[in-house]
Copies of this chain bind each other. A is one copy, B any other.
């Protein structure tokens, strides 16, 4: 029968790689059947229990304790294995301990002054402090650690922005800077595609697919998963986007993230739409409003993201048309419900806030469909408007009245109409809409009209004549939703806010200081990068009480 023995070590700190090695080494000892070496968090205890490695004694361990468990054929074997723990830990240390290891970031920075980067993977509760030190030393930060408070993230990114430095993370697993992978990163060809990702495996999957499709990567910059939350405001992604927009080696930009908060999307995509390069957007789990809006390409999934980016990097990209910026609110008066919905789905990525009686998000709900506010997209075919009335595709009366009402609002800069031709629809809609446009433009010369015309050359209304009447009245006529959204967004999008000092150009070759997981240091060296490992220990060896006393003494 198997015997399980365990040991609890409080206040010890070991790198997780060391713990994994210890567990593996324990398994090689005589009679040992299974072993576990973990921090004694509730989840880890449950995992041990599932593996039948949890003794009663182990259950008393606290989350900050190191728990070592050995299951062996006999009590002697189990105890012998436990007895070897210190020896195994010591052996591991001396094996890797040959090179000089400074004890502090500051010492490491002095030792390797070329290092522009600090890779930080210490446990979360120490990470913000270490990152702060790195910023104070003028280093860009790659922050692998998770469990960092969002307040700390905001403070770090704010400080970084002021200094022209970048903070990737916290919880940033991967990046490729000047061809060198940081953290988890695939070896990929260098090339003209710049990637910014809030998702680690998202970045890996896309950069590998780019390589496998014959493309290459200029820079791949991580931001950490929370960067696109409203509280953080996409600080890192915006910095990276600006950097890649100015970077001569980057022809196509890729943005990868779970869907950002709505106000962040509008800010981010407005900047993207004005950056002068094609931008492929993969907001994972996001409903793309179109395949393309202006210079922005919405991808469905990681595979298509890579395909689009490689295709664009190899093609003669069209220069995005420059549309003169206008001002004011858009008021969309639609007869087609799906057209209203799709236009809203598109415009919500550029104009904020926006309201509708066919709201996609709760925050867009228009309390009273009879009164527009800010940017508003209305479906005049909704039940509110059509009980006991003909559909607005047949009868323009309601639309004509509403156009007048909107034109009287001086904050309105653009009125957007759809004109749906075909059987069943009004026999000559432009004959009524055209004169109304002329009449409204008489009193509001600055007011712009845009008409989205849906129809074919075989439709009974004669589409060419419809378009001519609308254009003669002064309207801009567009023929599909994506072009309409791109045009209106470009006309009305607000200029993006400044985002602190821009990043300075990353120098080559890359050199870095590594604090934490040693295999990241090994990986840097094996890629030929200059690197130095800090022999980091938690303050007071993880004893929080003592650390706090030391901290007070310093202050």
Contact = CB atoms under 8 A, between A and B. Distances in A.
A455 interface: yes
A298 interface: yes
Given A384-B43, A481-B205, A337 B401 contact: no
A238 B291 CA distance: 27
Contacts of A4: none
B201 A284 contact: no
B290 A204 contact: no
Contact of A301 (B46, B47, B291, B418): B291
Contacts of A291: 299-301, 303-304, 307
Contacts of A17: 390, 394
A180 B315 CA distance: 42
A345 interface: yes
A16 interface: yes
A146 B301 contact: no
A350 interface: no
Interface in A358-388: 360, 370, 383-388
Contact of A20 (B211, B390, B482): B390
Most buried by B among A43, A211, A345, A385: A43
A421 to B, nearest CB: 7
Contact of A186 (B146, B397, B398, B456): B456
Interface string A11-32: 0000011011001000000000
Contacts of A201: 335-339, 418, 420, 454
Contacts of A480: 205, 209, 302-303
B302 A300 contact: no
B339 A205 contact: yes
A302 B346 CA distance: 12
Nearest to A146: B383
A44 B209 contact: no
8 contacts: A20-B397, A186-B454, A187-B423, A205-B481, A290-B300, A301-B482, A302-B342, A424-B519
